[in-house]
Amino acid sequence: MPWSEASPAQMDLALGTVASLSTMPRRRTDLADDLASSQHAGMGSGLAEAVADLRRGAESWAITPFARRSEVLHELLRTVAANARAWVDAGCAIEGHPAGDVPDAVRAEEIATGPLAILRLLRLLAATHRHLAAGCLPPLPGPRTARGIPVFPTAALLDRWLFPGLTAHVEVDPDGPLQAPPAHGADSGRVALVLGAGNLTSIPVGDTLHAVFVRGQAVLLKLHALHRELHEVLQSAFDPLLRRDLCRIVCGDATLGRDAARHEGIDTVHLTGSRATWQTLADDPAIGGKLGTAELGGVTPVLVLPGRMDRRTMRYQAAHVATMVTNNASCNCIAAQVLITWQGWPQRGEFLDALEKALAGIPERPAWHPGVAERFARYFPERGRPHRLPWPVRRGLDRTRDATFFADEMFAPGLGEIALPARNADEFGRAAAQFANDEVAGQLGIDLIAPAGTDPEPALAELRYGVIGVNVWTGVGYGLMSPPWGGYPGGTSGSGSVHNTYLLAAPRKTVLRAPPRTWPTPAWFATHGRSAATLAALCRFYGDGGLRRIPRVVWEGVRGSGFR
């Protein structure tokens, strides 16, 4: 079965410069009001009929051979690629950017966390299903090492060339099987409710694809009310699933989500959201027994190992952390919130100065997500409740006085820095890992900045997080799709994982590693000069698999990094 055969013209239309929407985006207050409304788009003839259709689809899907499932994935590659431009348009509008006036960094983020991530996921799932159809599990991209099970780079997508120096390894449960095939036959045939997050447009889509192609379920996808402008786009992009009664898409408020979860035809519920929402569902006797998997986020720390940084590395890592703060206006479950440094690090002040300079060069964003301005004001009361969000840094947090920085997910721009005492650098690494494990809420993601000459391995062995990035933002691990994505087992950031295209049976934590500085500058950096063009070219490559796309990816990436 060949890869997607979308024409170059079709892909260029889908991923060209973001053009105007047919309607102007509504005011953010209108979208916030939707959270309390009872209007539910896309319900058609009702919830009961939708669930009944999905039950029939699930039963048919349970006996569908893997070869046929692979064909459905290739259909999805074509329909998602054909809707990529409209998808990006909708994402920019959701964030409050008028058509024709979208900053390059925002457009790049909407490409990367929208169609690009999903096209990559579809490519990987298609490769997995080719092996399943041949009667074998997908081969890993390399042998097990002391670092764990390799899941990145993958050869089929030219990862080694497109992401130089980046690797990902997974620590798994040593007592169980290494891999497990997707649910099939008697192990599948269930109907799942996916409660989609409202911050990134790819999250509900990726969660749905994982439920269908890995868990063998039909899915009622309940989009967040913020994603109303995405509803029609996904109806078209998901047409191969809708036609087979494998998915129904609705959009609305928490009341709709609760009603759907209570429906007797729903077997299991997956949530990407807050711990408070998960607890509310768990406390409902009609829902609690259905709760399956969840990704609940938390406070994301950035641990800076004290080593000597040269001037270029200092600027690079300052821009790196600034990207972790500013991406999607900090409305990410793995947005950097707490910077952990050593009191005795000679370059501490220099690094904080470089970080504040990098943040000052990144334009402010609209306060588009409901409640973001109010949350920002709680952490930075001196700044009030701005309509456009700045990127403040508060140095020298106190463990007691500023406990809210460590205990609650801010989900708003800004960063707090805490300097821990220690007798030497080695002691600091252990103390910082203990602090992150025991005093910072959540176990989803943590980032380590490890200058040349430092050894991150002792800290890595201690850290209890589902995804860890060494010199690379954990958000990149989300977009790569081959690594498992989820909180550390037994922690407070949810249960289970998604993505995981190598079908690892019991992943515990994923560690991504990159050099202290790479060139070209990664296109996801907020300081990259051609990020939208670079990521659009990469998206075209994932859409049609054409090697002719690669020179444009490289050219735009180099242009945006500056020539040496």
Nearest to 544 by CA among 209, 112, 82, 233: 82
CA angle, residues 333, 34, 410, in degrees to nearest 5:
25
Nearest to 228 by CA among 373, 333, 93: 93
Mean pLDDT of 151-175: 95
Band the pLDDT of 387: cuts 50, 70, 90: confident
Q: Read off the pLDDT of residues 361-373 as tens digits, 9 standing for 90 and up.
A: 999 999 999 999 9
Residue 39 pLDDT > 50: no
Q: Which residues contact 391 (CB under 8 A, 6 or more apart)?
A: 322, 325, 326, 359, 360, 362, 364, 413, 414, 415
Residue 331 pLDDT > 80: yes
Residue 350 pLDDT > 50: yes
Token pair recorded at residue 342: 């050593």
Q: Read off the pLDDT of residues 42-76 as tens digits, 9 standing for 90 and up.
A: 443 589 999 999 999 999 999 999 999 999 999 99
Domain boundaries, the chain: 8-138+180-295, 300-513
Contact 286, 312 (CB under 8 A): no
Band the pLDDT of 99: cuts 50, 70, 90: confident
Amino acid (1-letter code) at residue 552: R
Q: How many CB atoms lie within 10 A of CB 344?
A: 16
Q: Give the model's pLDDT for residue 299.
A: 97
Q: Give the model's pLDDT for residue 8.
A: 35
Token pair recorded at residue 180: 């497990």
DSSP string, 332-386: STT-EEEEEEETT-TTHHHHHHHHHHHHHTS--EE--STTHHHHHHHH-GGG---
Residue 32 pLDDT > 70: no
Band the pLDDT of 189: cuts 50, 70, 90: confident
Q: Residue 432 in 3-state DSSP?
A: helix
Provide the angle, in degrees to the nearest 10, between the axes of the packed helices 202-213 and 66-82.
160
Token pair recorded at residue 341: 């440094």
List residues bridging with 445 in a β-sheet.
467
Structural domain 8-138+180-295, CATH architecture: 3-Layer(aba) Sandwich (3.40)
Q: Which residues contact 510 (CB under 8 A, 6 or more apart)?
A: 151, 168, 169, 170, 171, 466, 467, 468, 477, 483, 484, 485
Q: How many CB atoms lie within 10 A of CB 48?
A: 11
Amino acid (1-letter code) at residue 478: Y
What are the helix (H) ranges across 104-201? 104-111, 117-133, 159-162
Q: Give the model's pLDDT for residue 184.
A: 82
Band the pLDDT of 31: cuts 50, 70, 90: very low
Band the pLDDT of 298: cuts 50, 70, 90: very high
Q: How many CB atoms lie within 10 A of CB 403?
A: 12
Mean pLDDT of 480-493: 97
Q: Give the model's pLDDT for residue 17.
A: 33
Q: Give the model's pLDDT for residue 38.
A: 35
Mean pLDDT of 3-31: 33
Q: Listing from the earlier edge strand, what are the strands of the sheet with 247-251?
A: 247-251, 218-223, 191-195, 268-272, 291-295, 494-495
Residue 22 pLDDT > 90: no
Q: Give the model's pLDDT for residue 563.
A: 57
Band the pLDDT of 185: cuts 50, 70, 90: confident
CA angle, residues 162, 234, 466, in degrees to nearest 5:
50
Q: Residue 465 in 3-state DSSP?
A: coil
In whole angstroms, what is the distance from residue 309 CA to residue 516 CA? 9
Band the pLDDT of 2: cuts 50, 70, 90: very low
8-138+180-295 with 300-513: one CATH topology? no
Band the pLDDT of 564: cuts 50, 70, 90: low
Residue 28 pLDDT > 50: no
Contact 178, 172 (CB under 8 A): yes
Nearest to 251 by CA among 94, 95, 40, 45: 40
Q: Give percent of the chain above pLDDT 90.
A: 86
Token pair 């721009």 is at which residue?
A: 413
Q: Give the model's pLDDT for residue 321.
A: 98
Rounded mean pLDDT of the chain?
Answer: 90
Mean pLDDT of 463-467: 98
Length of the chain: 564
Question: Which of the residue ranges 4-18, 315-329, 422-436, 541-555 would you say has the lowest mean pLDDT?
Answer: 4-18
Match domain 300-513 to its CATH number in 3.40.1160.10, 3.40.309.10, 3.30.1330.60, 1.10.600.10. Answer: 3.40.309.10
